[in-house]
Amino acid sequence: MPFTPFHMGPGILIKAILQGSFSLMIFGWTQIVMDIQPLIVMITGKGQLHGFTHSFIGASLIAVFSGLTGKYLSEVGLKILDISRNNSVEIIWGVAFLSAFIGSYSHVILDGIMHSDVEPFYPFTTLNIFQGIISLEALHKLCLNSGLFGAMVYYTVRLRVKRKK
């Protein structure tokens, strides 16, 4: 994906499906952390654009980091945004790590489809089985439409739950 926001479309759909069992904030934080290494390469002109961080092993390490840090960052962010009704916001560790791992692995797959230099199974092989499985146009539409559909589903579910109360 050329920009991290494209990755948020599938994240919004996953949030709609999993609701409170998934943190979109931690998922988003993971997208940012995943793209730090390519950003450094673009700024310095040194290194492989999608290097070790865009392998499943690198993504696993990033997921652990993002889950550990994202839990606390998201709790503070939710409190600042006053999202919680009772001013007590706690994201359980399982949700934090599930969100981070889904975020990092989906990032590898989506970037693997788009970029030829992604090596998802490094160091075992440099083969990228995801490259070109769908067109770039279809990939962009998939990301955008999954976000739009996910937002509709999420708010429909929330509205129905609110009406039942």
**CA–CA distance, 116 with 48 (Å, rounded to integer):** 11
Which candidate, 73, 58, 84, places its Cα nearest to that of 26?
A: 73
**CA–CA distance, 121 with 126 (Å, rounded to integer):** 6
Q: What is the largest CA-CA distance in the chain?
A: 56
Note the pTM of the prediction, 2 decimals. 0.91
Per residue in 96-147, pLDDT (tens digit) is 999 999 999 999 999 999 999 999 999 999 999 999 999 999 999 999 999 9
User: Residue type at 89?
Assistant: V
**CA–CA distance, 91 with 18 (Å, rounded to integer):** 14
Find where tokens 């429909």 sit.
156
